[in-house]
Amino acid sequence: NSFVTRTNTCGELRSAHVGQEVTLYGWIQYQSFFLLCFSWIRQGLFLVLRDFQGLTQILIPQDEAHHHVKKLLSNAPVESVVRVTGIVSARPPGQENLRMPTGDIEVKAETAEILNSCKKLPFEIKDFMKKSEALRMQYRYLDLRSVQLQYNLRLRSQIVMRMREYLCNLHGFVDVETPTLFKRTPGGAKEFLVPSREAGKFYSLPQSPQQFKQLLMVGGLDRYFQVARCYRDEGSRPDRQPEFTQIDIEMSFVDQAGIRRLIEGLLQYSWPEERGCLTTPFPSMTYEAALADYGTDKPDTRFGMKIVDISDFLRRLDIQFVQNALRCPHGTVKAICIPQGMRYLKNKDLESLKESAKSQFNQEIMEIICRPDGSLESLLTKFLGEKQQSELIQALNMQVDDVVLLAAGEHKQVCSALGSLRLESADLLEAAGLVLRDPMTFHFLWVVDFPLFLPKEENPTELESAHHPFTAPHPSDTSLLYSDPTKVRSQHYDLVLNGSEVGGGSIRIHSAEQQRYVLEKVLKEDSEVLSHLLEALEFGAPPHGGIALGLDRLISLIVDAPSIRDVIAFPKSFRGRDLMGNAPDYVTPEELEPYHIQVSWPLAEKEAKQN
């Protein structure tokens, strides 16, 4: 308070302050008519004043000498900004409010001033009031007054500060700001373009500082870090924004194990006390194991329902669809067991799960139900004797009222479908009252040994980088890079928290020759676009690697927010728009002229009508 004219904040007054004269500034949260139930006891009017730190009850005097104060505060609209000077008093016995940290005291107003009156609000500033997200984003400056958003942003600030301390003060990292205006990067996400005054030439907003941090290693900085703003021209999702923030890290002379130890220490050091302690090292799992057991490369390990392979059990049975599946390349039969599925799920839920697998993955699903008498109910049971049913129950660890979802087909398709159904089933079970995933339990997991390349969706005969073209091949697979690149594992690693990817990184290619081969021969990219990086690698580039943590996503998981928009001060909407400032917006032809750009206005007008 030494920098401002208040003597105290609204959240710090206690019984020890009784008798002191204080000056408070804040917003009127409640007025006396919310508290009239007490007036017959107290014979007074009240209001509650709020600032960033908390609440204080203000007693409005009733005597004639304070008539002006009474009139001023009684008539002030809710959310008006006021200054109140008064004496701290103990509340009468029995009138304390145990839910307020300041609940033992109140301030008897002596003087007051309305600093800014509030007009009628578009919504009430209360956390329990439901507002549409569009309205909240249109009036984001009002939404920021809510207790939850205040908490989220302050916790985010504290975590970032602790991360800076750990990296810079304890481990010698250098905080370097890298350019926002750069050039297009091959592969990866679609980038935003920024016109220049040179005809036909554009900057790109970087989707990450990837090239710059590698160049900093070539420059000998050894350890780099940045709270980096990044951009992707993609549609928004609950966990993605067109502009986002990541904790960007790069080190020289490091291996995967070193990066992982650094990040585990970083998270332990910056983790909020109220969320418990983190145990390190975090467990790790290969990409293949994650896909086989959970059907995804970002498994939520807070609950079971793992995928079970029953191919060997069913292989010896004469079941046509099973045999057809197993004869195919990479054919398999797998299943997941939904605990107490018959008790918590309805028939329409099971039909919805089967339809989801069909529509999303073109995968047929067969259900198996364990009846109260221990027998099985399924189209499959007509092919199974009593002994075989018992063996299947044992293989799937089924209990009474469990429901099994079975899928047969190509390995990756089956695993992906069952992995999706596993999560959908968990949602349905929790909606019905069975708790599987505690949001205050935090399960970190490293996923490693990803493939270096994947077939392109639009043309499976061509390859693209599974992550980005600068990732080094696994040391054991280097020779395969030149003979069979589809079988090469990468030195990439993802950090997963409760089923969400919160970080990803890799050991980089530091050989110009190998980097050029990957770009030109494997990915068929024009290496000239990256000539500056290739040339830098020829000037004694050290072995190096790094990682980026998605700050928005990490904070949203820590505070159990439904969307990363709840941990960003001024986020974009689901469609990537700023509803408060109405951006993006049109510009005039005169403003576009220096950039040698003309807009097809009929198309722009059509899009405007759609928006």
pLDDT of residue 489 exceeding 90, the answer is: yes
pLDDT at 34: 41
Nearest Cα to 527, choosing from 538, 535, 519? Answer: 519
Whether residue 208 is predicted with pLDDT greater than 60 in this model: the reply is yes
Query: How far apart, in Å, do the first and last CA atoms of the chain sit?
Result: 46
Q: What residues have CB less than 8 Å from 522, skipping those under 6 apart?
A: 453, 463, 481, 485
Whether residue 542 lies inside any domain: the answer is yes
Do 265 and 192 fall into the same domain?
yes
Confidence of residue 409 (pLDDT cuts 50, 70, 90): very high
Length of the chain as a residue count: 611
On the question of pLDDT at 185 being above 90, the answer is no
Same domain, 312 and 427: yes
Query: Is the predicted pLDDT of residue 310 greater than 80, yes or no?
Result: yes
**Percent of the chain at pLDDT above 70?**
94
CATH for 370: 3.30.1360.30
pLDDT digits (tens, 9 = 90+) for 150-164: 999 999 999 999 999
CA distance 251 to 217: 7
332 falls within a domain: yes
* 480 burial via Cβ count (<10 Å: 0-12, 13-18, 19+): middle
Residue 197 resides in a domain = yes
Please indicate, yes or no, if residue 571 is contained in any of the structural domains: no
Q: Which of 1-15, 46-60, 228-242 has the lowest mean pLDDT?
A: 228-242
C-alpha dist (Å) from residue 268 to 59, 166, 265, 282: 45, 10, 5, 11
Hunting for tokens 């728009």 — which residue is that?
577
Kindly tell me if the per-residue pLDDT of 603 is higher than 70: no
Cβ atoms of residues 259 and 548 within 8 Å: no
Whole-angstrom CA distances from 1 to 16, 25, 89, 398 are 18, 11, 21, 63
Q: How far is Cα 211 from Cα 233, in angstroms, rounded to an integer?
A: 19
Backbone angles phi, psi at 371, to 5 degrees: -75, 165
Average pLDDT over residues 162-178: 98
**Helical H segments across 328-432, by residue range:** 341-344, 347-361, 386-396, 411-431
Structure token pair of residue 215: 């160049």
Residue-averaged pLDDT of the chain: 92
How far is the C-alpha of 456 from the C-alpha of 465, rounded, in Å? 9
Instruction: Tell me, yes or no, whether 603 lies in a domain.
Output: no
Q: Do 400 and 428 belong together in one domain? A: yes
Residues 332-351, mean pLDDT to the nearest whole number: 95
Three-class DSSP labels, 263-310: HHHHHHHHCCHHHCCCCCCCCEEEHHHHHHHHCCCCCCCCCCCCCEEC
| Mean pLDDT for the stretch of residues 588-597 | 93
Q: Which residues contact 357 (CB under 8 A, 6 or more apart)?
A: 363, 364, 365, 405, 407, 417, 420, 421
pLDDT of 448 strictly over 70? yes
Residue with the bigger pLDDT between 316 and 200: it is: 200
Whether a cis peptide bond, with omega within 30° of 0, leads into 584 is: yes
404 close to 398: Cβ distance less than 8 angstroms: yes
Q: What is the CATH number of the domain that holds 281?
A: 3.30.930.10
Banded model confidence at residue 359, pLDDT cuts 50, 70, 90? very high
Angle of CA points 152, 154, 156, to nearest 5°? 70
Q: Is the pLDDT of residue 166 over 50?
A: yes
Cα distances from 445 to residues 4, 166, 258, 279, in angstroms, run 46, 21, 16, 11
For 224, the domain range is 150-286+444-566
**CA 69, CA 65: separation in Å to the nearest integer?**
9
Half-sphere CA count of 402, side-chain side, radius 13 A = 20
Regarding whether 318 and 278 lie in a shared domain, the answer is no
Which pLDDT belongs to residue 40? 40
pLDDT confidence bin for 128, thresholds 50/70/90: low
pLDDT of residue 238: 63
Residue 66's CATH number: 2.40.50.140
Please report the pLDDT score of residue 575 as a whole number: 84
Eight-state DSSP code of residue 458: S
Return the pLDDT at 38. Answer: 42
pLDDT in tens, 498-542: 999 999 999 999 999 999 999 999 999 999 999 999 999 999 999
Per the domain annotation, does 54 fall within a domain? yes
Hey, how many other C-beta atoms are within 10 angstroms of the C-beta on 565? 22
**Same domain? 171 vs 99:** no
Quick check: 145 pLDDT over 80?
A: yes
Residue 335 lies in a domain: yes
What pLDDT does residue 129 have? 67
Q: Say whether the peptide bond before residue 281 is cis (omega within 30 degrees of 0).
A: yes
Domain boundary, last residue among 531, 547, 566: 566
Is 267 a domain residue?
yes
Q: What is the pLDDT of residue 240?
A: 80
CA distance 488 to 474: 7
Kindly state whether residues 309 and 365 are assigned to the same domain: yes
pLDDT at 465: 94
Q: What is the pLDDT of residue 1?
A: 67
**Over residues 232-242, mean pLDDT:** 77
Mean pLDDT of 227-253: 89
| Selected residue with higher pLDDT from 476 and 1 | 476
Q: What is the DSSP letter of 578?
A: B
**Do residues 468 and 424 share a domain?**
no
- Per-residue pLDDT band for 35 (boundaries 50, 70, 90) equals very low
Q: What is the number of structural domains in the chain?
A: 3
One-letter amino acid of 404: V
Segment 366-393, tens digit of pLDDT: 999 999 988 899 988 888 888 889 989 9
- Residue 410: pLDDT above 90? yes
The answer on 426 and 309 residing in a single domain is: yes
450-474 burial, b for 16+ CB within 10 Å, e for fewer? bbbbeeeeeeeeebbbbbbbbbbbb
**pLDDT value at position 234?**
80
Q: What is the pLDDT of residue 457?
A: 87
Q: How far apart are CA 512 and CA 519, in angstroms?
A: 11
Q: Phi first, then psi: what are they for 492, rounded to 5°?
A: -100, 150
Domain identity same for 48 and 112: yes
Same domain flag for 281 and 157: yes
Give yes or no: residues 218 and 190 share one domain.
yes
- pLDDT higher at 371 or 187: 371
Q: What is the mean pLDDT of residues 569-590?
A: 92
Least confident of 210-224, 370-384, 452-466: 370-384
Same domain assignment for residues 403 and 482? no
Q: Give me the residue label for tokens 């504290």.
A: 158
